[in-house]
A and B are shown apart, each in its own frame.
Chain A
Amino acid sequence: TYYVFTFLVGYSAVALNHVIDFKEKKQEIIKPVSPSELFPSLPIVQGTSKRIKVLTRLTLVVSDPSHCNLLRSTSANIRLYDIIAVFPKTEKLFHIACTTLDVDLVCINVTEKLPFYFRRPPVNMAIDRGIYFELLYTPAIKDSTMRRYTISNAISLMQICKGKNIVISSAAERPLELRGPYDVANLGLLFGLSESEAKAAVSTNCRATMLHGETRKSACGVVYTVKKPRKVEEEETTLPACKKAKTEA
């Protein structure tokens, strides 16, 4: 409907999420729905002439270490998703997700009291690996108890990670649950982020997650080579200096 698109007009990319919860009966990872089937025509991003990008995303809710085997196996269907997120339910799984699992996002529980405390070593390792922590804002809008959990969980994460590597996203199921980017950045202020961190949580961090997903999809990684002609000159000028030092010595 048109009303959804008035918000989308403030965004340049959207991800469609497919959640897999292993607590239920045996789940299989199916191929992602192709966005072109769902949306015959996409609106244009405000201010540019490109169309909105629609990405596919998979969220795995893991409550047992055996659930992670799915990520390690070379299942063909997993590679088809643009972004992979994991929702760890225990402290051990949170540690595994931050340090070893090959994912782009780690979801932080916002609908109930955290069963464990965050510790600095796994969080810092996740930041070094380029993994982002995701906070949802739609539960906070719907219910006041959820709002309290969201804010306390977000602030306790903030104290450990110092506001870095945060992504704020909605889990909207209806168009009226969405909020524009300006408003979502303001929500970041409520979660203890500074103004620049809150803006980054809606813009640059999301883009970095997309790129992380792209590098994960393509073989082992991407190396971008950039031509740097000046480097040769630098080497030439340093060589004589070395020679000079030798002669002086």
Chain B
Amino acid sequence: AALSCRYVLCEVVSEDPRCRQCIEDRAVGLAVRDAVGRVHGDYGLACCSISFTVKYLNAYTGTVLLRCRKDSYRLLCSALPFVRQLESRNQRYPCSLNTLHVGGTIRTCQKFLIQYNRRQLLMLLQNCTNEEERRCVQKSLLSCSLTEEQSQSGDEEDDDGPE
């Protein structure tokens, strides 16, 4: 494809739970653009702005999927560590972005995200304090799979999670 894009999957990390309110396309897009402008100047900002958009957001897990042109994904990725805060509706909260995966299509990022979330759920399972939580987490683990595919046999092994 002549106009290839790169999809960058990252997660928003913050100490303040209220930061979740700021996880919306406009706020995240502005923060990323501002960081690119600060680090790479007008040239970098202009390059990254071609086809730049926030494709997917999940405020509960803090997952963000960004898209940019293949030629400028390095400029974008090298500026992501410089995002320091998210601002929305005159509220700003300090946070940082953690890059998880860079893929050529949305599907590869989706597959990675499923594996990543499964690992996070496993870690949550280890830290469960009561039986109720444990059952909820196990139920989520068993149901995570890519739609259109059959659920993988690996899920059954997860059931014997470490106590």
Contact = CB atoms under 8 A, between A and B. Distances in A.
What is the size category of the interface that chain B forms with chain A? 20 to 34
Contacts of A3: 13-15
Contacts of B119: 46
B78 A7 contact: no
Nearest to B119: A46
Interface stretch (A97-105, A175-183, A225-233): A175-183
A184 B98 contact: no
A1 B15 CA distance: 9
A183 B95 CA distance: 15
B13 A186 contact: no
A176 B94 contact: yes
A189 interface: yes
B81 A186 contact: yes
Most buried by A among B15, B39, B77, B81: B81
Nearest to A49: B162
Interface of A: 1, 3, 6-7, 9, 46, 137, 140-141, 144, 147, 175-180, 182-184, 186-187, 189-190
Given A176-B15, A176-B95, 15 more contacts: A46-B119, A137-B81, A140-B82, A141-B82, A147-B39, A179-B96, A182-B98, A182-B100, A183-B80, A186-B74, A186-B77, A186-B81, A187-B78, A187-B81, A189-B78
